[in-house]
Amino acid sequence: MPGGEFPLGGDLAVSRLGFGAMRLLRGSFDSDPRDPEEGTAVLRRAVELGVSHIDTAWFYRVGDIGANDLIREALSPYPPGLVIATKVGPLLGPEGRPTHQSDAGGLRKLVEENLKSLGLDRLDLVYLRIGGMSAPGGESLGERFRVLAGLREEGLIRHLGISNVDRGQLAEAREIAPVAAVQNHFHVHHVRPQDLGLLRDCEAAGTGFAPFFPLGGGADPLQAARLEPAARRHGATVRQVALAYLLARSPVMLAIPGTGSVAHLEENMGAARIRLTAADLEELAGSV
């Protein structure tokens, strides 16, 4: 598998270099829509290249077409070993952005929407996404996470995760049910002390850590000049080096770069061949 394997939840072997579906239908929430047929081609090529971990969400959509719909149309019946992770919690506002949050009472409906749109009887991994695009922390997740834990007991969900959280919220969730994965903002140039503490907690428990924006995003882009020397040494692109850094940073790291282009997908998957040295990592991360 690209980048090696990780035992998600202890029983699902997934490729550590996976695929994020957010950019299948548009590059950002503000960009023009993409041709859905291109997204279908990207998904099929990802599986051909060995990707066994796809990260999605029902709210990744443009109008009536969602990333989940493309995944179902492109890949169902799903190949053995393909793990699909999704997120619940955010709600789309009138402008089509996930600017609102569901309360505990709305989570069952969101899970059912994911089941229906993906054409599944059980979801492999469901993250509870907290706080929109604000910084992690500042609110309890217990009431909402208990709802998802109940749906797991019913058999609708196999494993649970949490997203955009701090160490306290991770500890709170673990008091309720096992946490198979955490998804937080993290990339080679976005590594804060609190992120490292959360990553250490995940390593100690064998919990997967899936960074969102692994190649930068929005107001937090990669600093290409800091990546170019290593890219030249390894005959790679800066995007490949940024992904290779994540895979080398921790054995629990699950990189999920997203794209709506087959060419960019193939470039991203090339990161699996890069073996960064300790000197490379020190140079890339600076003082981190």
**CATH (domain of 179):** 3.20.20.100
Whether 166 maps to a domain, the answer reads yes
Whether 228 maps to a domain, the answer reads no
Q: Pick from 269, 256, 266: which is nearest to 187 by CA?
A: 256
CA distance 89 to 93: 13
Whether 93 maps to a domain, the answer reads yes
Q: Count of domains in the chain?
A: 1
Helices within the chain (DSSP H only): 36-48, 67-75, 107-118, 142-154, 167-174, 193-205, 224-234, 238-249, 262-269, 278-285
Whether 146 maps to a domain, the answer reads yes
Side-chain half-sphere of 258: how many Cα atoms within 13 Å? 22
| Residue labelled with tokens 């990780």 | 6
pLDDT for residue 132: 74
Annotation marks residue 60 as catalytic = yes
Number of H helices, E strands in the chain: 10, 15
Q: Which of 60, 78, 127, 245 is catalytic?
A: 60
For the purposes of burial, counting CB atoms within 10 Å of the CB of 174, is it exposed (0-12), middle (13-18) or buried (19 or more)? middle
Whether 238 maps to a domain, the answer reads no
pLDDT for residue 288: 40
Residues of the chain where predicted confidence (pLDDT) is lower than 50? 287-288
Asked if residue 45 lies in contact with residue 262, where contact means CB atoms within 8 angstroms, the answer is yes
Q: 106: domain range?
A: 5-213+251-260
Q: Pick from 93, 33, 104: which is nearest to 59 by CA?
A: 93
pLDDT for residue 218: 67
Whether 234 maps to a domain, the answer reads no
Residues ≥6 apart with Cβ < 8 Å to 253: 16, 209, 210, 211, 246, 247
Whether 207 maps to a domain, the answer reads yes
pLDDT for residue 138: 86
